[in-house]
Chain A
Amino acid sequence: MFGIGKLADHIIIERIKQGDEKMLVYLYKEHHTMVKNFILKNNGDDSAVDDILQDTVIAVWKNANKSEFLLQAKLSTYVMAIGKNLWFKELKKRTKFKLVDEDNHLGQGSEEMNLDMDQNIIRQLVKDMDKTCSQLLAYFYFDGLSTKVIAEKLGYANADTVKSKKYQCFKKLQGTVLATYNKEELL
């Protein structure tokens, strides 16, 4: 895979912390068979495997970038644990949706729909914003990368520059959102 062989766990974690997105693919391929077998043995089907595995490796990606993250077992064990939790959560969700559908509870559905509408408004604005800004905000909020790593990846001088740039980007986005839409609609 990408010319790399079997990597040690600590190297994978280190490369995740460096924001190397190839590790996502590596983790996905390395654990595909394991997660698939588990899902198929637990009332799952092939269509669910990819979604669960993608969520799993992204969760590992996010968790590894947290400051308090400490790997106390094999990475494969950790990945499988997350995969199992996500699959059981998905099973619960499926059961829950089934029950809701049977009881015809439409109230909750309306609230979720409103939330989706708000997000769609902001999502379009995020897409339209400057690419560097969107990357910076994504690295910081979603990936949880440190300002130092973000500075290296985006070519900024240091962590303080990243902090300042982040504030500017966010303020600009917030102003656009508030200017475009009525504040009351968002709240």
Chain B
Amino acid sequence: MNMNEQTYHSIDAYLNGELHGRKLDEFKAELRTNKNFQEIVTIQEKIIAVINSERDKELKEYITEKTGKQAVNPAPIYRIWMLTAAVIVLLISATVILTQYVSTTHKESPTAIALPQKKKTADSEGYEPAPPKEIEATVIDTQTLAIANGSDKTDDSEATDKNLLLENKNRLTEPLDDPESNDIIRSLIEKDKSKDTSKSNTPLVKNKPTNQAIVVLKSAEIEVRGDELLAFKSFIVKGIEPDFSVDATKLNQKQLEIATRKKKDKDENASSEKEDIIIDYAPTFREIEIEYWKSVVNYKGYQYSGNKVKLYGIDQNKILNFKELDSRLYLKLEGKQYYLDKNSKYNRLVEVINPTLLKVLND
């Protein structure tokens, strides 16, 4: 059974259905008549069938190998296990994070660690330490009080009548039961005193960590002070008009001399001014007390109660001259006349600008 290449390709074409027309007719005629040719075609057909079958099997194995049933369609149990594992990991992570957060928050509580344990006494029973926020609110009030470094006024008894802030300060600065803690706080206070006073105005900080909670105690050493009395003097006020209504305080010549002597004893610094004090033997004279005050807010003005004048922001070395006209007190300072009205509050110095009045006062 010999088969040349042309026959082989013709059989291939026939089996693939690619023979048409005359070629197909000739092939079919040969197939009918030639038995040997029939055998050749049959064998070739069978071999091709086996080749196709083998290739089909090969491709199916390739697909199975590449896809894999589990990869394409994961079993539900597998998915459930994956989800369960993911949820467990998430829960553990959340627990760890929350635990860290809670412990950090607890450590940052300033009252829990920083505040000293107040000894229970009869007065302090039921007392709850004010939170730092209240202290902050008190510090803000600077109109009448000022916050300064407690260098010259450390007396608690004086501070307690100031305001709630000092009360809180005293509570905070009470000695701790633990002597070691007392030493730490004391060293911090000493260190704080040596620093610039401006640093003490730093606002209190709330919710600081443990090490900074001691700073709260250090800040509690802030001393609050009011207006400061610098000096006081006595002056003789001359009533310009004869009808000046100071009968009750009218002094005779002898009383006037006594008043002048007292003035000299009280204020040695003002000795240079005695020559400037008007000792006029006019019809009406009276003694008046002058206090020199330094305001914490550098206020410049006066407070006049009738027989005492508080001067704020006026240099005590400057020459003053008081006159009274029509029940009104006038102050001459640096060549200018100022009107002092009776008041219970603080007033600014009001300059006299009326020329007629100025002429009378300056005469």
Contact pick for B63, options A24, A126, A138, A163, CB 8 Å: A24
Instruction: Contact check, B3 vs A138: say whether CB atoms are below 8 A apart.
Output: no
Task: Name the one of A61, A122, A183 contacting B47, with C-beta atoms under 8 angstroms.
Answer: A122
* Contact residues, A96-137 vs B (CB, 8 A): 118-119, 122-123, 126-127, 134, 137
Nearest A-chain residue to B47, judged by Cβ: A122
For B38, the closest partner residue in chain A by CB is A187
Contacts of B177 in A (CB 8 A): none
Write out, one digit per residue, whether chain B residues 64-89 have a CB within 8 A of any chain A CB (1) or not (0). Answer: 10110100110000000000000000
The CA of A134 and the CA of B30, in the complex, are separated in Å by 30
Is the pair A186, B46 in contact by a Cβ cutoff of 8 Å?
yes
B-side contacts of A167, CB under 8 Å: 5, 8-9
**Contact B48–A141 (Cβ < 8 Å):** yes
A141 vs B13: C-alpha distance when bound (angstroms) = 11
- A28, A36, A142, A183: the one contacting B39 at CB < 8 Å is A183
Within the assembled complex, what's the spacing in Å between the Cα atoms of A141 and B69?
29
Pairwise interchain contact A143-B55, C-beta atoms closer than 8 A? yes
Which of A71-79, A87-95, A148-156, A171-179 lies at the interface with chain B?
A171-179
B43 and A142 form a contact (CB under 8 A): no
Number of A residues near B (Cβ < 8 Å) is: 37
What separation, in Å, do the CA atoms of A54 and B64 have in the docked complex?
Answer: 8
- Assembly CA distance A156 to B60 (angstroms): 27
Residues of A whose CB lies within 8 Å of any CB of B are: 21-22, 24-25, 28-29, 32, 36, 50, 54, 57-58, 61, 118-119, 122-123, 126-127, 134, 137-138, 141-143, 163-164, 167, 170-171, 173-174, 177-178, 183, 186-187
| 30 chain-A/chain-B pairs, Cβ below 8 angstroms | A21-B59, A21-B62, A22-B66, A24-B62, A25-B62, A25-B63, A25-B66, A28-B72, A32-B67, A50-B69, A54-B60, A57-B63, A58-B56, A119-B53, A123-B50, A123-B54, A126-B47, A126-B54, A141-B52, A142-B51, A142-B55, A143-B55, A167-B8, A177-B43, A178-B1, A183-B1, A183-B39, A183-B43, A186-B43, A186-B46
